[in-house]
Structure 1
Amino acid sequence: MSTTVQTAPSASSSTSTVVQIAEEISGVAARIQHDETAALEAAADRIRGARRVFVHGAGRSGIALRMVAMRLMHLGLEAHVVGEATAPALGEGDLLIAASGSGTTGSVVRVAEATRSAGGEVLALTTDDASPLAALATTTVVVPAAAKSDRSSRVTAQYAGSLFEQSVLVVGDALFAVLWHRSGQDRDQLKARHANLE
């Protein structure tokens, strides 16, 4: 059986490439909506019920989760980025949101293991529900995007794990939006928590 290998987006212009990428993200979102509704609801419940939320991912996945942490802070939740100098010790009642496309990224799996050892829970965002990260998770949201190592994917024409990383942000923003709606807070209440030392 032959496999089509796409080496670059097939779009012929910058504008059409933007549309192509947006369509890929939309396709992943539709599959998440269809297959992961219960997991997303459980994820929102875990975040809302956590004493504190920590986020961790390597590379671009980690950058996406930093953006998610910022929105959770705007919501009034105590959110921390693993590895930052001001991140406190994680303990019981705390939640780690961890992202790894493959679910095998060493640093992410080790942080998830440390979280479980400290009595915390893990919310995993990954493409592989049979991965080591998923095995450590209390809740796993499967993001049906290509993993970074998948060089023959028909899911995306983008390089490496780009579609997964983009989808992590979309899922994070969706969870924030659900929690915001449940909280009953208005925009001004969130705005009051926005950084004023810029």
Structure 2
Amino acid sequence: MRGYRLGRLLVTLLAVGGLTLVGVGIARLPPRPPQPDAAGLPHRAAAAPSLPPLPRAEPVEVRIPRIGVRAPLVSVAADAAGALEVPPLDRPGVAGWYRPGASPGELGNAVVVGHVDSPAGPAVFFDLGRLRPGDTVHIARADATVVRFAVDGVEAYPKDGFPTDLVYGPGGAVGLRLITCGGRFDQDRGEYVDNVVVFATRTA
């Protein structure tokens, strides 16, 4: 039940960028972020890891060469009500690592979240929907190691259908989940209608 609550609140809080855009009185709609292929890039269950898991270490930077992302990571957690924190909107170039979960390189799914936009324009994960299977994601850690992941799939989910188990659930591989908002911007609700989720598995 707690995992479900985190998933639902994650979906809600990742829409903060859209809410702020409306709240500050911007009259025009924000640019629509790139989306996964219409045909879908379904998540594939990762095979058992061929590399041993790494010990826990705090991640400090995420790099995604295909979309030109090189961003610092800050720790985020859940508050007393179970709501997931996100990086502050006044730092749109920063992504957040969900600290209570796995660290990148540990067995399980490490979760990294980022805004799609901000009052100033596109944010750190604006182009997340451009990723395709085989693209790489690099996570630099505080212990001076760099963990490399390969994208398995990219999907967009309606916010009332967030895949909590696939994102937070335990797995037999060293996984990574990147999450942001996506889809159409609903001006009446002041938020994007979907979430984009990237599924990736450690390769080095």
TM category, shorter: under 0.3
Higher RCO (C-alpha 8 Å, min separation 6): 2
Q: Point out the structure with the larger helix share.
A: 1
Bigger radius of gyration, 1 or 2? Answer: 1
Higher normalized strand content (fraction of residues): 2
When the two structures are superposed, what TM-score results if normalisation uses the length of structure 2? Answer: 0.26
